Structure 1
Amino acid sequence: MKYKLITILSLVNLHCFADTNTYTGSGVVIQGEANVTNQTLFSCEHGRSRMSPVGTKSSYQKQYTVPAEVLYEEKYFAADLYNECAEITPSALSDVQISNVPIVEIDSNGEVITGYIFADNYFELYVNGKLVGVDSVPFTPFNSNIVRFKVSKPYDIAVKVVDWEEHSGLGSENNRGKRFHPGDGGFIASFSNGTVSNENWHAQTFYTSPVYDLSCLNEVGSQRLSSECSTEGKDDSIHAHSLHWDIPENWKTSREYLNWPKATVFTESVIGVNNKKAYMNFREKFSGKGARFIWSSNVVLDNLVLLRHRVE
């Protein structure tokens, strides 16, 4: 019996190893969950919050932070537009004191721009490489933010967006009757000078999970495609893999993003915001201004996405 058990385990390990070897793309494949280094970045007394763990996954000489390296603990928070945890819950934009939002100066002789942002789940916004604001809630409850910055045209917007995970390194959460169910992301923003998130932005993914069959992955040019991969929930994560790509150090300012794929647009119903007051209470400043929800090509499995856009 002991010999048979060892043989079975060996066959499982060989199967997993062989499965990994079938992948020939540019990402680094790592199987299994992460080593959790922080059980949760955030907890909320006034709203339903999920654990927001941070962990690391290693392969050979490389180590990746999952779901992403973030500045959350530095507390450079953008002003709250709607945040149950801070008990800021205006029912309309008329209840928001926009003049109280601090202005981040990019150019001393520039124009003051006001931006409205809703991210599922987390964002960091940079303008010309300078940090403008960090999402005040990394996971849930869903919130929205308002930013102001002073800048001259042309300028570059860079956004790090993260779909957080309850199970670190597995891109999944306990949801819809399954312990390991992949969540979905989404980002929408509009600015007072008419700039809106849409299909003209660029988006590149740097962390995809969970992937149970590596043969579903494909790359076409700079596109890192996982549309053929299953997004169904599971009761276990035994064969879950994650894919990782190194983030360029100068991603916030480099023009290399022009080689990234264009962002994919998603409807409000796909993102599922009809019951989210953080969005619906201010819908006129989002879709009402022509902004669209954007992400990489896979809003479910791609968990770390970088966005770039130039405002002329």
Structure 2
Amino acid sequence: MSVVYSRADSAVDTPSNASPPPRQRPEGKGGKPKGRGDQSGLIKPGIGDTMKLNVYADNWFMLYVNGRLVAVDPIQFTPHNVVSVDFLPEYPMTLAVLAKDNADPKTGMEYGTNIGDGGFILKFADGTVTDASWKARSFFHGPLNSNTANPEVKHEPLPTNWWAVDFDDASWPNAKEYSEEQVDPKQPYFESDFAGARFIWTDSLALDNTVIFRTKINKPDWKKRWNTQPDLDVSGAPQR
């Protein structure tokens, strides 16, 4: 038991391990929450309007939703990890993903002498998952013909605005689904909810090293509860 003295030097006994009282939001005039002007008529989204997503990539990814960067894998190589993010959905929802397997840009090899393999899986709390309906296209392939003795690679520049809602991916092939055994995910994958989702990549899990995935999710009955829009400008943010 500790002793706390008030300004009147009267002793008050308080438990030494007592938690501080919770912080209260500052109040303005008339006891109303302190704010920045009249916000009557504005309906803002709350945390209950957000949705969780889980992503696992071998080895790295960046995810755009409706043209905005939502998640980036903070670990470029290993250990393999799951990225979980709460974000604010708006439908229709265009998803665009840049996924990269670990590969030397000159040889397509990893660890100097090995051929690696990729794999990408995603699940949103609304049931959106990765599967063969997604579009997938490779932009870095190698080593050509799996030739590890004299490895050569093929690079194509990423298309302009590949993350944009109006980007035309109609001619792209569909993704190919792969099993857990083929991708061999590490332990964090099994600790997260990916039920119903499938691992996807291009037709070449081993030789395609940089892949863009795209899909569009429609929910005709969905209505936005809020009537506010962000005013901030993030157009200068890096896109790669």
Normalized against structure 2, the TM-score is what? 0.68
Which residue number corresponds to residue 298 of structure 1? 204
> Is residue 198 of structure 2 the alignment partner of residue 198 of structure 1?
no
Distance 1:143 1:169 in 2: 26
Equivalents in 2 of 1:240, 1:258: separation in Å?
A: 32
RMSD of Structure 2 on Structure 1 (CA)? 1.7
In structure 2, what residue type is equivalent to 1:277?
Answer: Q
Q: Is residue 120 of structure 2 the alignment partner of residue 187 of structure 1?
A: yes
Match of 2:171 in 1: 259
Name the larger-Rg structure: 2
Q: Among 136, 156, 171, which residue is 1:245 paired with?
A: 156
* Contact 2:108–2:152 (8 Å) recurs in 1: no
Structure that is richer in strand per residue: 1
Preserved contact between residue 98 and residue 210 of structure 2 (Cα < 8 Å): yes
- Is 1:127 matched with 2:65? yes
Mapped partners of 1:258, 1:292: distance in 2: 22
Residue 144 of structure 1 corresponds to which residue in structure 2? Answer: 82
Distance 2:106 2:83 in 1: 27
After TM superposition, the structure 1 = structure 2 runs for residues 52-71 of structure 1, keeping only pairs within 5 Å, are none
1:29-80 CA distance string (max 9 Å, x none): xxxxxxxxxxxxxxxxxxxxxxxxxxxxxxxxxxxxxxxxxxxxxxxxxxxx
- 1:209 is displaced (CA, Å) by 1.1
* Residue number in structure 2 paired with 1:70: none
Unaligned runs of 5+ in 1: 1-107, 212-228
Kept after mapping to 1: 8 A contact 2:161/2:167: no
2:183 to 251, 258, 271: 271
Compute the displacement of 1:246 (Å): 2.1
Q: Deviations over 1:140-161 (max 9, x none)?
A: 1111110121122101000000
Q: Deviations over 1:97-148 (max 9, x none)?
A: xxxxxxxxxxx65942210010000000101111011101111111111012
Q: 1:168 to 1:246 in 2, by over 3 A?
A: closer
Alignment pair present for 1:311 and 2:225? no
- Whole-angstrom CA distance in 1 between matches of 2:56 and 2:90: 24
C-alpha contact (below 8 Å) 1:156/1:311 kept by paired residues: yes
In proportion to residue count, which structure has more helix? 1
Looking at structure 2, the residues matched to 170 and 141 of structure 1 have their Cα atoms a distance apart, in angstroms, of 23
Task: Give 3-state SS (helix, strand or coil) of 1:115's partner.
Answer: strand
Q: Which runs of 5+ in 2 are unaligned?
A: 1-43, 219-240
Task: For residue 173 of structure 1, report the CA deviation from its aligned partner.
Answer: 1.9
Give aligned-pair identity as a percent.
37
The 8 Å contact of residues 109 and 152 in structure 1, kept in 2 or not, is answered as: no
The CA distance in 2 between the partners of 1:149 and 1:257, in whole Å, is 25
Q: Does the CA contact (< 8 Å) of 1:120 and 1:187 recur in 2?
A: yes
- Candidates 107, 112, 117, aligned match of 1:170: 107
Aligned residues: 172
